[in-house]
Each structure stands twice: as structure tokens, then as C-alpha cells.
Amino acid sequence: MLIEFAPSAQSSVGIEWELALVDLASGELAPEAEAVLAGCGADEEGPIRKEYLKNMVELVSGVHRTVGGAVYDLSERLRQVRMAMEPLGLGVIGAGSHPFSRAADQERFRGSRYDVVAERTAYWGQQMAICGTHVHIGVDHRDKALPITCGLSRFYPYLLALSCSSPYWEGQDSGYASQRTLMFQQLPTNGLPYPMASWAEFEDYADDLLECGMINVASEIRWDVRPSPKFGTVENRTADSVPTLAELGAVAALTQCFAEHISRTYEQDQTVERLPPWLVRENKWRAARYGLDAEVIVPKTDGGRREVPLREGLGRWLDRLAPIARELGCTGELETAAALAEHGASYERQRRAGNPQAALRQLLSETGADAPTF
């Protein structure tokens, strides 16, 4: 399969924000996407789109030079959605999962593509009442796409921990900071990217999946971090959906700065530091389980520690990325990442609320707000 990669402006940014619709009377997920989308005058390729389930909408920013521009774009899309929701008695939440609605009770959209997904994924497909935040970073040359993909997966625990927002699942505390992460990886072609040395190897991989009936098009490769050839980007899909605009900005800025760091390193000597796959996988699990309280495994150095607290490791990287953030115009958003680490990501705030019902009220209040209520 020949997969054309359309280069784009290096480190440009776009964000996709999946949000869940909630019936304000009952607090349950509401299968009202069709009515909301109609009220917004939305279409298939517009900035407000449907998703697999009828209780979700996806807001899509344009391509921007700065994170702030992309976040403002989404805030305007959310304003349109709220206008369409108000007469319907609906609210909206940005979280990896609804705190208590049952996943298997949710309605999905019909259609040949969706029907194939439902048949193939069976039970696990019925559990996908989850929402994520996807950040696209522009890549100016195809040869960088896979190095940046694998490089970003190295930083998985930091990118995930800041966004963890799904501690509750069907009314119970799952014990995980991101229940969504564990659910999402159950589907075929999902999960961590495979280390690949060349674009030709990626094309061969896509050919094999196509021949085996696992995909119909390359975009159905749903790695946690993946090349997006059509847009000329690398797409970070690790993050839960988040409630506030400040959290959107923090996740996008950290992704943008890490990607630019990897790009510059690759330009110097055509190499990217890779970690063993077992280590990357373990760090992913630790971040999903413990969030910002995780102990991250790091490359072993002479006399150095093998594990560091995630907050400590994140702090070091935030300091190291600060000059890049200044150049990219996202210093404020990167500083928000430090504030979240200190005061609490969404999963911590939901637990502090006390129970799933209180967590829902908090999410309804915070979603679309400028900053979290610490």
C-alpha cells in the first residue's frame, strides 16, 4: 500500500476534543448527538462532528501556529454546541468516561462502517463509552513521522498523567486514574506503536493488515500515537478528554514541545533515543493506574535511579522544554502543566468531590471553563 504523506508546517497544531452529552435531569449519558449536530448545522467534515456513539460529539480545531489559537477555536465550537443543547435540557462533559452511566446501554450510529466495527469488536466494542483528546502536530518531512511517533510514545506517562480523567466506571472507583486507557487498548490495531525503521516498513505493515482483513484504510491503524499521512501530522491519542480549556492547552503544549524536541534531535543525527518496548508499556500502565503519583522507569545511568516519581520527571522535562515553549508561543500553557501536577489533574479532583454523582456535577461545572477548580 502506497501511503502518501503530505508534509505540513513543522510543529503546527490542531486539536480534536471528544465530549459526552448528559441529560441534566437524570445525569445519564444522552443519545442526542443527532439533534445537537442538526442544531449546529454540522456536517461530516465540519468542525463539529458525530462519533461512533450517539452520546458524543467531537470538536475539531483548524490548523494553528500556536496552541492558544487552537484552544480558542475549540472554545468557539463549544459555544455553538451549548446553544444547540440548551433547549434540549443537555449538558456536556470533558472526561475519559462518564462516572456512572453503563457503557453497554449506549446507542451507536448505524452504517456499513460502524456495523463492521460493532460486529468485529463484539463485547469490547460495547464498552467504548469513552472520550479522548487528540493532538495533531505538523511534520515537515515524511522521514520524521515515524521517529516522532516512536519518540512521543517514550513520553507517554507524562502526556497521559496530566489528562487522566476517568477514575469512575459505571458508578465504581476503578482504582485507575485513566480507566479509558485500559478500555481503549482492547480493540484491534489500538495500543502502542510498533518501532519501525522506515516509511516503507510502515507501508508494508499496512499492506499486511489490509490483506488479513484487519483494516480497510490506513487511518484504521489506531495506535496511541500514529502518523496521520492525510494531514501531514503525528497524532497524539494518549490523552483522556479533559474538562477545561487550560487542560486542553497543557496537553497540546506538552505534545507540541516534545514533538519539536524530537524533530530537532532527529535533524542533528537522524537518530531518536528509543526505550525498550517493555519499559514503554509498563510506564503506560503505571500512568493509567496511578496518574501523577506513578513511579516512572527511566533509562539506567551510572549511579542513577532506575525509577523517579512522575511529577519529578515531568518537572525536569518542563524545565528542559521551556526554551522551545518560548519559541512556539506556549509558555503559559506549559506552565499550566506544572500547576496541574501540583494541584491535581481531573481524576484527583473527581475523587476529591466524593462520589460519582458529585464528580459528574463537578465535570458539568468545569467543562469549557478557562481553568480547573483546584
> Under DSSP, is residue 195 helix (H, G, I), strand (E, B) or coil?
coil
Residue 344: what pLDDT? 96
Q: State pLDDT tens for residues 101-136.
A: 999 999 999 887 788 888 888 999 899 999 999 999
Rg (CA), the chain: 19
Tell me which residue of 11, 253, 271 sits closest to 143, measured CA to CA. 271
To the nearest whole number, what is the mean pLDDT of the chain? 95
**How confident is the model over 136-164, as pLDDT tens digits?**
999 999 999 999 999 999 999 999 999 99
Dihedral of CA atoms 35, 37, 39, 40 in degrees, nearest 10, equals 170
The predicted model gives 49-78 an average pLDDT of 97
Measure CA of the first residue to CA of the last residue in the chain; give whole Å: 49
- What CATH number was assigned to the domain covering residues 13-360? 3.30.590.20
User: Which pLDDT band, with edges at 50, 70 and 90, does 304 fall under?
Assistant: low
> Could you tell me if 226 and 193 are in contact, meaning their C-beta atoms sit under 8 angstroms apart?
yes
For the chain, domain boundaries? 13-360
How do 13-23 and 132-138 pair as beta strands?
A: antiparallel
- Tell me the pLDDT tens digit for each residue of 26-53: 999 999 999 999 999 988 889 999 999 9
